[in-house]
Every structure is written in C-alpha cells, then in structure tokens.
Chains A and B, each alone.
Chain A
Amino acid sequence: MDSTLMTDRNVRSASPVLAIRDLSVGLKTRTGVTELVRNVSLDIRPGERVGLVGESGSGKSLTMLAVMGLLASPVTVTGGSVTLGETELVGAPDRKLRALRGSEIAMVYQDPMTSLDPLQRIGEQIAEGLRAHGTSRSEAGERTLAALAEVQLPDPHRLARAYPHELSGGMRQRVMIAAALAGNPRLLLADEPTTALDVTIQRQILSLVARIQRARNLAVLWVTHDLGVAAQFVQRLAVMYAGRIVEVGPTAAVFSAPQHPYTAALLAAVPSTTGERSALGQIPGSPPEPGSFPAGCSFASRCRQARPGCTQAEPALEEREGGVAAACFVPPAEWRP
C-alpha cells in the first residue's frame, strides 16, 4: 500500500484517475430529450478528494450515477465521455462495468440498509464481493477481517458474523466503507454517505475515510448537499446548478472568494455556530425545472448580479485566478453589494 502523502503539486501533475468530459445526461421521451446534466467536466487525480456540491435537482447524483454506469432507461448519457485511466466507461458493456465496480471503482451510498442484505451476515457480504472478482475463499475471509479492522470496527471476528440490523447506523456505514474498500479500488465514489448520520458520527466517518484515503492515495468523488462537509472534507469542489457545473476550484479559494453569484448566495444561506448572528442570505425564486431551462444563464432570474446580457447567452465555465473556474459574465469586482 502506498502511504506516501502527495503534495498538492504532485496531485495536480499526476494524470487523472477519473476524467469526466462534457458529460450530458438526458431523459429520452417520445417528443425528444430533456436535458438533466449538461456538459459536466471534472478530473479526479490520485490522492485527491473532490466534492460535487448542489441542492436537490442540481444533477449531482445523476452525474455520479452516470459515472458508475448505473443510469436506468429512459435516463441515459447523451454525450461526453468518462474515462477511468485508459478505459472509456460510457457505452462500455455491462459485464465490463460490473468487473470494474468493486475492483477499480468502489461506491458508498447514503443509506447502508438499502445496500446491505438484511438476511446475510456482514462478513459473508463483504467476502462475496471479493469472491466475485476472483479472490479465493480463504483469502476473501482474511481480507474481510482486515477491512473491518481498517474501518475501526471493534472485534472484527464477532462483527463478521453479525447481521446488519444488529448494528447502529454509524457502524453500518463503516461496514459499507469496509466493503467498498476491500477490493482495493483506485476510485471511491460516495453519494451523501454521512447525510443520514448524527454529526458526531459523521465526524468520525469523515475522519476515517480521510485517513484511509491518504494512506492508500485513493481518488475520491464525494457528492454532498452540505457545504460544511465540503469545506471540511474535500480539497477541490464543483458547484452544480440546474445540471451544470457553475464553479469549480480549490475548496479554500471557492469558499473565501466565490466567483459565481450562486456559490456566494449559497454560502450566505448557511448558518454558522460562530460569528455574528444575523439574517441568513436568501435566494429568491426556485431553480428551473429540467426541461424548461431558460435561455442564457439558468441562474439569471434569481441572481442579484444579473445584467441584461445574462438572459441572452449562456456563460461558459472559464478559468479565473487561483485555479478557480466560474460560469458567469459578471466578475466579482463588479458585483453589487
């Protein structure tokens, strides 16, 4: 296992584990295609934790499902590519994708109870995943125990014989992480895995994943609606709105000087446990429904900074200073207070 900590520069220069290019996802109906995710591009390099942040309906979970090849008809990838190392995932046959999931790519979801079989012992479930990828029975058993120990579950031998219902929510999520990482993947995809947990348990899970991730130099894509989790957990984040990435960059830069008015408005809406107690920022209106994305910038009708031109053309995601890219015509220097 590679336990070298990569510096930020190393992370930058290494070739990406996962490269998402112009990925679009749509809902195919008799009358046409409703766009749900539009031209999403994102790289995740070895040893990097990347966050995909957005509110409900922003397309973050669909992007994740598209990457995993788990979209179900009539929702399909309508354009772009997703490459894992050298392998193109879009359009790859199911058999190939299944082989990659659990070996190269691991996944963790919000609700462990929907992924765990309630009638099967924990240990058997983890071992089964390993055996499906050609590990021998005895080796699978050993690796299962090692995986349970790695996620700091007490008494792995006893736990391997337990059923999911005997565990607390936090322990179940640890089991899911153990199962996901047992196959020694290069990439971990996580869809809101700590959202249903209490904050004290969430903290433990985040610390745990960060530690394992660093030790293994894993690439992580973490989908969350929680800006706090993003702030504390990921090194780089992409903010999604109405199916597009509207801002992407190093977490510290995005939080300290957001370049897109939506990011700025979202940050102003989050209450804090410290600092001045004042009214929270609000965003008027609601996000556009998929299928009726307005002309121009999707955020324009709700945007404090909108100018007449914003409803004419859609701003492209463009590089700004500090490694941040934003899709907005109005630079922060010209923002109204």
Chain B
Amino acid sequence: MSAPAEHPGSMPGTDAPAAVLAAPVLAAAGLVKVYPPASRAGQPSIALAGVSLDLAEGACLGVVGESGCGKSTLARLLVGLERPTAGTVLLQGQPVTNFRRPELARRLQLVSQDPFSSLNPRLTVESALTEVLLVHRRVPGRKEADQRVAELLDMVSLGPQFASRLPHEMSGGQAQRVAIARALAAEPQILILDEPTSALDVSVRAGIVNLLTRLRSELALSYLFISHDMAVIRQLSDQIGVMYAGRFVERGPWQSVMSAPLHPYTRALLTAVPEPHPDGSLLGSADDLAHDAPDTGGVQVAASARTGCPYFPRCPIRIDRCLTDDPPLEVVAGAHDAACYRAGVAVESGGGVPAESGGSPGERV
C-alpha cells in the first residue's frame, strides 16, 4: 500500500490527492458519455457527466456507487471498449486512442463480474492462458508457455490440475481466479476490476479480495476497483471515489471517506450498509422512516434539462441554492474532495426533510 507521503511535491489545488500524483499511469479528464435516446420520443441519457481521475502507479482507486451511477460506463471508456462523447483518457501520459488494441491490452486489462461470460466455454484454462501469452508475445514459444501457465495458476492459488479444466468444470470463484490469471498473462500494469466479487458467495469473495490485495503488492499493479459494496471497496482501496448520477460526488483517502464522509450521499450509502453485527443500527429506527431518502426510483441520471445538484431530490440537508446551482467537486479538507455546498453538515436528527416530498425529483419543497 503506497503511503500518502510518497510524493511530497504534490501540488495543492489539483484534484489529485498526494498519493495519486507525479506520474499517473492512468488519467481521465472530463469524461462525458451520452447515449442516444432509446426511442424517438425519448431523451438522450447521460451516463457520465464529466469524470476526471488519476491513478498513481501501484495505487488502488475504489469507485463505488449504485446501479445506474455510471461506474461501469467509466470502466468501458477506460479500457477503450467505448469512446467517450467528450473528454480524454491518458495512459502513461498519452491519449489512449494513440495505442493500437494489442498495445493497450499489454498495459490495461479488464476483469468483469461474470468470469463465465469472459472465458471461452470451449477453451481449457491452459489454452485460454496460452493464447494470451502467444498473442502478446509474453513467452518465446509453446514450451515456455506451459511453464508460464503453471506459474500463472500458482499466482492465483489454483493447482496445476486446473490447466485441463473447461470453464463449466469450475465453480464461480475458481473461474474468477482463471479470469484474473488470464488478465495477468498479458502482464499489464493496470487492472480495471468491474465488480469482480459481486456474483460470489461470502467465503469465495473473501478469497478473491485477499488474492487481489496480494497480487497488487507482489506485482506492483495499479487497480481501478469498481463495486457497489462499500465494505469491499474499503478493503482494497487507497483512494475512494463515490459516484452519483454520472460523476464523482466525493473522493479522498479511504480512511477519510469511510470515517468522515462529506457528501450526504456517501453518508446515506454507508448508513444503508447492513453491518454484519446485530447492533440494531439499520432497524433501530425502523419505526420512523423519516431518515430515509424517498424512493425516487434509484439513481436517476440527470436529465439535460435539470439544473442544480443531481442529489437534490433525495438530499436531507439541501438548501435553496442546491436547486439552482450544481456544486463542483472541490477540496474540502486535505486531499478530501466533495461536490456539495453543505459538505460535512450533519443531518438534523428527527428532522426528516425529504421523507414527505417523496418521488418528485427536481420539484421544489
């Protein structure tokens, strides 16, 4: 884990906190992705509304958010599966569009949620790994490839007997290990991990999280780790970015974001996590739902017509200004940024502003 003091020359005023500076291996600036309307009467949907980030060498940036917040779109833009509507992705300082596909794949690999959809069902583990090794010329020939396959399996804690397995002969956790081994075969510097543990059982998930933690330090990898799960994000990340409606609403060192969240959405997320110890924190106040944000149908990505803060309809600490102005992501404390005019303001206990105004996004109270 890289210490925050690693780059003492960090410049104040930039978005990037100290650890994520000097030479980011991966950077994005002002990423916007707009999808055309699904029907003629429909509105275009804004999946990303301006996302900038820096990923330092050897660091892990955790990106957390709920469904529809744009986190997977971000992953697809970063690995070049889709092109942004606006903004740039820089890989080692160069626009990602300057790289040809294989060059890109030797630097950047994606691990997604479902290993079975990313593995060819007819290829044995050995063939799948060998293919990558040969395509990217990571080994001189077939003989060395066998040796390397064994090393890769060992790296992800799978025995050599897995070499001859087909995807359907493995459990979800084993297949995810193979998917990780396959990504590592290309010897990338960066892994984009898009919900790699979300489909797994509790005990299997723990194994993958531990494996990813170990691999990062052993291979000096940089991670962009995407998840909806605050606890998993916390386990792996140096920096945490919280996404809402296609943008970061909060970003900072993991300790600060988890223990002193600034944005009301981050706080709502953290409060909602059912903690695995029965202290009654979730249902202690079950009788008054006043603290709960109204169900506005999950994260509704801001329609182009809307002004003001996208979190306004659900926000318990909103003020009039939030309806008209859209708060930018700004440094609030140290390297800890938030996009909120009321960053850090506590919710008044008992004063449930939004509960009664349920389900009317953008409507003034």
Contact = CB atoms under 8 A, between A and B. Distances in A.
B358 interface: yes
A201 to B, nearest CB: 6
Given A203-B282, A225-B201, A281-B206, A267 B276 contact: yes
A286 interface: yes
A266 B275 contact: no
Nearest to B172: A56
Given A206-B282, A265-B203, A231 B209 contact: no
Contact of B202 (A202, A227, A255, A273): A227
A207 B231 contact: no
Contacts of A174: 295
Contacts of A227: 202, 276
A88 interface: no
Contact of B275 (A198, A272, A281, A283): A272
Interface stretch (B31-39, B81-89, B264-272): B264-272
Counting chain B CB atoms within 10 Å of each CB, which of A170, A203, A229 scores highest? A203
A274 to B, nearest CB: 7
Interface stretch (B176-184, B188-196, B285-293): B285-293
B123 interface: no
Interface string A197-215: 0111111101110110010
Interface in B274-301: 274-278, 280-283, 286-287, 289, 292-293, 295-299
A311 B302 CA distance: 59
B299 to A, nearest CB: 8
A270 B276 contact: yes
10 contacts: A55-B203, A154-B359, A202-B274, A204-B289, A210-B286, A214-B286, A228-B273, A269-B206, A274-B258, A280-B210
A232 interface: yes
A204 B206 contact: no
B207 interface: yes
B261 to A, nearest CB: 10
B213 A206 contact: no
Interface of A: 55-56, 152, 154, 167-171, 174, 198-204, 206-208, 210-211, 214, 225-229, 231-233, 251-252, 255-256, 265-274, 277, 279-283, 286
Given A154-B359, A272-B231, 7 more contacts: A55-B201, A200-B66, A200-B268, A226-B274, A251-B278, A271-B209, A273-B275
A280 to B, nearest CB: 4
A207 B207 contact: no
B298 A168 contact: yes
A207 B201 contact: no
Interface residues of B, number: 50
B200 to A, nearest CB: 9
B138 interface: no
Contacts of B278: 231-232, 251-252, 255
B274 A233 contact: yes
Contact of A203 (B209, B210, B271): B271
Which 3 A-B pairs have CB atoms at the shortest separation, nearest pair first? A228-B274, A168-B297, A232-B282
Q: Is the interface of B mostly helix, strand, loop or mixed?
A: loop
B92 interface: no
A282 B273 contact: no
B235 interface: yes
Nearest to A169: B298
Contact of A198 (B66, B232, B283): B66
A286 B174 CA distance: 10
Contacts of A206: 274, 282-283, 286
Contacts of A281: 206
Contacts of B271: 203
Contacts of A252: 278
B161 to A, nearest CB: 14
Counting chain A CB atoms within 10 Å of each CB, which of B270, B276, B289 scores highest? B276
A270 B272 contact: no
Given A168-B297, A207-B286, A208-B289, A232 B274 contact: yes
Contacts of B276: 227-228, 231, 255, 267, 270, 272
B54 to A, nearest CB: 23
Nearest to A209: B286
Contacts of A169: 67, 298
Contacts of A269: 202-203, 205-206
A203 B258 CA distance: 19
A152 to B, nearest CB: 7
B211 to A, nearest CB: 9
B74 interface: no
